[in-house]
């Protein structure tokens, strides 16, 4: 969007200059009637779409790198996001998210059949797909990959799993004990496909040895082969000559350099030493003003507050206090200060355009109403409500700055906020875990306000439901919500899934269980010769096989 904006501004300036020049010339010229011409009118031309060019090395600057490359139970989201070049799944997110496709498409599967009556998910694998070591992806190998995460109890919806069968070399069937519309998209994506032969060699038949081997080795089916990996320093991928998509990838090589310091990274990028950089918002805006290109699409990582409704003794179980918190926060002001025009102000969960969005949900900024709500709970500026706000510096300065502004806004209406800035270990130890109920005096958590998945029902189930696999401990769950969740996961068509999403999100918003503030968009800043579709298929997929560069 920013790229379009700056181009539009540039065109307006140029057009203004041309019009000014023309008007000056017209003031000294006598108008004449143009001669009649019998020549045919020129045929409108269709803009030429640039065609991919093969070759070149794409150089990427990253602030951090992966810690585990190929043992899924040990991998975090950051690890998966750094191995798109080498690893692929049976299905993955497509660019038509939220539509009748449900937001996913087959990748290493040729097709997928889901039978809600028979309680089966059948993956028909592509034939002839080879791993980087030359071995073939078969149904037995696919089943082995899934069995690894089952054995580690590291895959969602295990309660819905009954059995797994491989009736032939290229057919994998998952049998469900109960229908769940989240199973296909999750189980088909949760583990990328890795070579069993390579694992057997690297592990020597010992699980712990295999885990250690998988920290620095990856043998997948992707368009690029891992050439070199130095944790926290660099990573190099080279073209897979036997890639199953003929004629791809276009690039010869992709090189990552890990540069945590933004000042150093920016200097290297502007010196032409890199082609892509995930710049902080302020740097991104300044670089776009200089003519560099923003590559962005639909994903947004939402940030906000989680009131402690899990602990029955916490004062945040009082809905008037939760509503007062949201009414007191000027989200636009925080977004402007933190996001420099790149971020999105979030008035509700979910945001505009998502399944379940309702423009009338949430508690709009209203200082007077915040004070009234506090008064009903017995508090005022002279008798403030003392609360603790938990945050961390693990995500850089933005969350800290946002919490400072939240404190100022809440203090102004009758709260007295203490910011608890925890190290990463204490923060995550407090924020996560089904059996981890925060202390009664831990009132608010500043963290991701959900995710951004293939559709918003998936986000609700994964983050806010009674059985989420991102279990944020601050949110209380109820039996009534569990009943609603079972109905939502049992929906067998997209319109019903959308209706169930709306119902679920009204439950979250009407009870002020999440207070969204701003959304961090998916974007990178790149040189003008790079052609990439990054983020058009979300945060969980980047089709590096179709990335290419102009000769430069």
At 49 the pLDDT is 73
Q: How far is CA 468 from CA 251, 290, 293, 485, in A?
A: 39, 43, 37, 10
Q: Report pLDDT digits (tens) over 296-308.
A: 988 899 999 999 9
Average pLDDT across the chain, whole number: 89
At 50 the pLDDT is 84
Phi, then psi, of 206 in degrees rounded to 5: -110, 120
| Band (43; pLDDT cuts 50, 70, 90) | low
At 95 the pLDDT is 83
Say if residue 270's pLDDT is above 70.
yes
Q: For the chain, what's the residue count?
A: 552
Classify 530 as helix, strand or coil.
Answer: strand
CA atoms within 13 A on the CB side of 112: 24
Say if residue 13's pLDDT is above 80.
no
What does the alpha-carbon distance between residue 379 and residue 377 come to, in Å, rounded to a whole number?
A: 6
Q: How far is CA 359 from CA 345, 449, 457, 458, in A?
A: 13, 18, 18, 21
Q: Report pLDDT digits (tens) over 224-269.
A: 999 999 999 999 999 999 999 999 999 999 999 999 999 999 999 9
Q: How far is the first Cα of the chain from the last one, in angstroms, to the nearest whole number?
A: 25
Say if residue 107's pLDDT is above 60.
yes
What does the alpha-carbon distance between residue 347 and residue 430 come to, in Å, rounded to a whole number?
A: 26
At 98 the pLDDT is 62
Q: What is the mean pLDDT of residues 130-157?
A: 97
Structure tokens belonging to residue 467? 């059985």
At 102 the pLDDT is 67
Query: Taking the model in full, what pTM does it have?
Result: 0.84
- In terms of average pLDDT, the best of 71-85, 360-374, 451-465 is 360-374
| Band (215; pLDDT cuts 50, 70, 90) | very high
What does the alpha-carbon distance between residue 121 and residue 2 come to, in Å, rounded to a whole number?
A: 42
What does the alpha-carbon distance between residue 454 and residue 464 come to, in Å, rounded to a whole number?
A: 16
What does the alpha-carbon distance between residue 481 and residue 200 come to, in Å, rounded to a whole number?
A: 44
At 45 the pLDDT is 57
Strand partners, 125: 109
Say if residue 19's pLDDT is above 60.
no
| Band (44; pLDDT cuts 50, 70, 90) | low
| Band (161; pLDDT cuts 50, 70, 90) | very high
At 471 the pLDDT is 92
Say if residue 33's pLDDT is above 70.
no
Please tell me the chain's helix, strand, coil percentages from 3-state DSSP, rounded to the nearest 5: 35, 20, 45
| Band (447; pLDDT cuts 50, 70, 90) | very high
80-103: b (≥16 Cβ within 10 Å) or e? bebbbbbbbbbbbbbbebbeeebb
Task: Write down all domains in the chain, each with its CATH number in brackets.
Answer: 58-67+199-292+527-549 (3.40.190.10), 102-193 (3.90.76.10), 300-521 (3.10.105.10)
Say if residue 370's pLDDT is above 80.
yes
Classify 33 as helix, strand or coil.
Answer: coil
Residue 105: closest CA among 549, 548, 540, 459: 540
Q: Name the strand (E) or helix (H) holding 549.
A: strand 548-549
Q: Residue 124's CB: how many other CB atoms inside 10 A?
A: 17
What does the alpha-carbon distance between residue 270 and residue 56 come to, in Å, rounded to a whole number?
A: 19
CB 304 within 8 A of CB 344: no
Instruction: Name the DSSP letter for residue 462.
Output: I
| Band (341; pLDDT cuts 50, 70, 90) | confident
């Amino acid at each position: 969007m920013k790229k379009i904006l700056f181009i539009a501004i540039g065109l307006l300036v140029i057009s203004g200059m041309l019009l000014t020049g023309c008007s000056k010339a017209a003031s000294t010229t006598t108008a004449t009637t143009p001669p009649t011409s019998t020549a045919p009118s020129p045929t409108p031309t269709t803009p030429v779409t640039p065609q991919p060019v093969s070759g070149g090395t794409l150089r990427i600057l990253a602030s951090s790198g992966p810690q585990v490359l190929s043992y899924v139970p040990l991998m975090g989201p950051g690890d998966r996001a750094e191995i798109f070049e080498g690893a692929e799944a049976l299905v993955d997110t497509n660019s038509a998210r939220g539509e009748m496709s449900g937001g996913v498409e087959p990748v290493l599967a040729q097709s997928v059949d889901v039978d809600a009556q028979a309680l089966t998910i059948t993956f028909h694998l592509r034939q002839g797909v080879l791993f980087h070591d030359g071995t073939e992806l078969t149904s037995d190998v696919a089943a082995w990959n899934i069995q690894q995460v089952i054995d580690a109890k590291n895959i969602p919806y295990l309660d819905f799993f009954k059995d797994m069968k491989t009736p032939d070399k290229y057919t994998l069937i998952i049998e469900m004990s109960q229908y769940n519309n989240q199973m296909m998209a999750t189980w088909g994506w949760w583990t990328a496909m890795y070579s069993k032969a390579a694992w057997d060699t690297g592990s020597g038949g010992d699980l712990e040895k295999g885990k250690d081997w998988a920290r620095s080795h990856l043998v997948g089916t992707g368009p690029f082969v891992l050439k070199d990996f130095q944790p926290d320093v660099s990573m190099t991928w080279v073209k897979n000559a036997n890639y199953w998509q003929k004629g791809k990838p276009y690039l010869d090589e992709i090189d990552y350099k890990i540069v945590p310091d933004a000042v150093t990274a920016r200097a290297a990028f502007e010196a032409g030493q890199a082609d892509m950089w995930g710049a902080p918002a302020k740097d991104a805006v300044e670089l776009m003003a200089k003519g560099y290109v923003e590559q962005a699409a639909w994903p947004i990582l939402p940030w906000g507050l989680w009131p402690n409704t899990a602990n029955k003794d916490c004062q945040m179980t009082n809905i008037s206090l939760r509503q007062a918190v949201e009414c007191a926060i000027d989200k636009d002001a925080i977004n402007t200060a933190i996001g420099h025009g790149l971020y999105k102000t979030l008035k509700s969960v979910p945001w505009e355009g998502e399944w379940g969005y309702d423009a009338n949900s949430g508690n709009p900024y209203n200082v007077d109403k915040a004070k009234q709500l506090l008064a009903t709970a017995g508090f005022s500026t002279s008798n403030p409500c003392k609360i603790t706000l938990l945050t961390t510096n693990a995500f850089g300065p933005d969350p800290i700055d946002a919490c400072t502004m939240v404190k100022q806004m809440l203090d102004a209406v009758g709260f007295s906020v203490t910011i608890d800035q925890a190290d990463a270990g204490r923060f995550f130890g407090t924020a996560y875990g089904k059996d981890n109920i925060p202390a009664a005096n831990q009132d608010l958590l500043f963290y991701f306000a959900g995710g951004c998945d293939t559709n918003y029902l998936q986000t609700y189930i994964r983050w806010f439901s009674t059985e989420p696999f991102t279990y944020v401990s601050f949110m209380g769950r109820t039996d009534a919500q569990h009943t609603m969740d079972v109905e939502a996961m049992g929906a067998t068509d997209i319109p019903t899934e959308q209706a169930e999403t709306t119902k679920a999100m009204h439950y979250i918003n009407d009870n002020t269980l999440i207070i969204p503030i701003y959304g961090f968009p998916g974007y990178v800043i790149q040189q003008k010769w790079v052609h990439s579709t990054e983020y058009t298929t979300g945060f969980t997929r980047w089709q590096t096989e179709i990335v290419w560069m102009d000769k430069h």
